[in-house]
Chains A and B, each alone.
Chain A
Amino acid sequence: MLRVQFWKQFFEEAGDISRFTGRLFSQWFKPRYEIAEFLRQCFIIGYKSLPLVMLTTFIMGLVLTMQIRPFLVDYGVESQLPAMVGIAIVREIGPVITALIFAGKIGSSIGAELGSMKVTEQIDAMEVSGTNPFKYLVVTRVLAATFTLPLLVMLGDAVALYGTYLGVNMSGVTSFDLFWTKVFRNLSFGDVLPAFVKSFFFGFAVGIVGCYKGYYSKKGTEGVGQSANSAVVLSSVLIFFIDLIAVQVTGVLGLN
């Protein structure tokens, strides 16, 4: 009985999110274009996430290098450390970790902000004031999340690789030029492009889930908290699913 209930809820929610996404695409290209609000959201979502993304990816690059080094030393291939960590960061760890950080910070903030606007009737007030709240609040936020996450991933990768460079030099000496030469010599177009493309999907997932959870927040402050929480949980799970699909697609396209 409980299992039936679970699947019923699961499919209902999946259907609701699909309808919400369909509504987003139907409004995406229609005027009026909320350019100013989109740019404001890019600033809030992108620029204000930058310090957190840079700090976490730097530590990630450093720690990853320190943990992999002993294993490579045992096999006598320590010189391959920059190449190995570089590929791991650019292909997989950089986009996924940045997206998870992004889901935690931005997914929860969008969910809580829209949820709070919903329960305090600000969304209704917006509609009464001649504004399509779906366009003004949802389309701008989803677009901003979709287009800023890939930029954050690129910057995060660069900072993580700098952390790797410092990690490499903690137990040896490798010049800056040699380090980057080793990283880039082993990186191919097939490593960079799929990672870059999938980060657009990660950003879209975080944006749409945060907006959906907030926009349909139930009444009351408890509902706002639940919206923020479930936005983070669902968008994090979706990031892993998208990653799983992306690796299959790149495999089929011969980019693995």
Chain B
Amino acid sequence: MHIAGSIKRTLENYGRDEAVMTIRNLYKSFGVHRVLVDFSLRLHAGESVVVLGKSGSGKSVLIKCIIGLLKPDSGSIEVLGESIPELNDEALDAIRMKIGFLFQSNALYDSMTVRGNLEFPLRRHSITATQEEVDELVKNALEDVKLAHTIDMMPAELSGGMRKRIALARTLILKPAIILYDEPTTGLDPITSREIIDLIKEVQQKYHAASLIISHDMNCVRMVSDRVVMLIDGRNYKEGTYDELIQSNDPAIKAFFE
């Protein structure tokens, strides 16, 4: 299929050590409130980076700048070789096909069935696929999250954990090269939270997509991160592996791990 082919080529172009996303000196303010201050980050192909910070520290603003929902005040965001803030609508749509975004609130369309929710990005990105191919993609995405039986259900009929998994299936349906997770375990009970974390790990193994995970759930950070970036007061406060950071004596870092 046209789109699957283009994504495959994109992934092949990037070696394991190459950066698929580079953020340099990012600034973003809302009025007088400075949210991101000189923030920088590199995400490599196949890597899982967790951005850790307390609520209101600018994590969600960062992820929305990456996907082009917010424009940064200054700085650069390069994703798969494209400068996101400089793209026009058409080019932004094209690059968004290669970036999956799991919203904190799941953002499933209430007025559509699960099938409608999963078909929506396929149809809207003008992907040239027959109905059989679309059905196959929807079926496969639902099987990946073990919820094939919910295909004709409405989002309101699903539990919180099921909605999260359907949202993940919708994120995966375009086989993205990069997946952005905005607080994937927030609001879930510990058991469902663990299921979602396992699912994220399975997805990483199966799709080899680079993952940027925004979280303050230490369990999630410990289990899915290759590298952790501490975001404090809008800046990169510290960067390292989970094991490196847990041994830190810095009170600001220790506050997260205690």
Contact = CB atoms under 8 A, between A and B. Distances in A.
Contact of A128 (B101, B108, B109): B101
Contact of B69 (A116, A127, A132): A127
Interface in B130-184: none
A116 B110 contact: yes
Contact of A125 (B97, B109, B125, B126): B109
A124 B104 CA distance: 12
Chain B interface, DSSP helix/strand/loop, else mixed: loop
Interface string A102-146: 000000000000001100111011111111100000000000000
Contact of B107 (A122, A130, A131, A132): A122
Interface residues of B, number: 22
Contacts of B125: 129-130
A121 B107 contact: yes
A122 B109 contact: yes
A124 B120 contact: no
B172 to A, nearest CB: 13
Contacts of B104: 121
Contacts of B126: 130
Interface in B191-220: none
A206 to B, nearest CB: 20
Interface residues of A, number: 14
Contact of B121 (A124, A130, A132): A130
Contacts of A124: 64, 69, 103, 107
A121 B105 contact: yes
B24 to A, nearest CB: 23
Given A116-B110, A122-B110, A128 B105 contact: no
Nearest to A121: B107
B33 interface: no
Nearest to B120: A129
A131 B89 CA distance: 10
Most buried by A among B106, B107, B110, B120: B107
A125 B110 contact: no
19 contacts: A116-B110, A117-B110, A122-B108, A122-B109, A122-B110, A124-B103, A125-B101, A125-B107, A126-B109, A126-B124, A127-B69, A128-B67, A128-B96, A129-B124, A130-B96, A130-B97, A130-B124, A131-B124, A132-B89
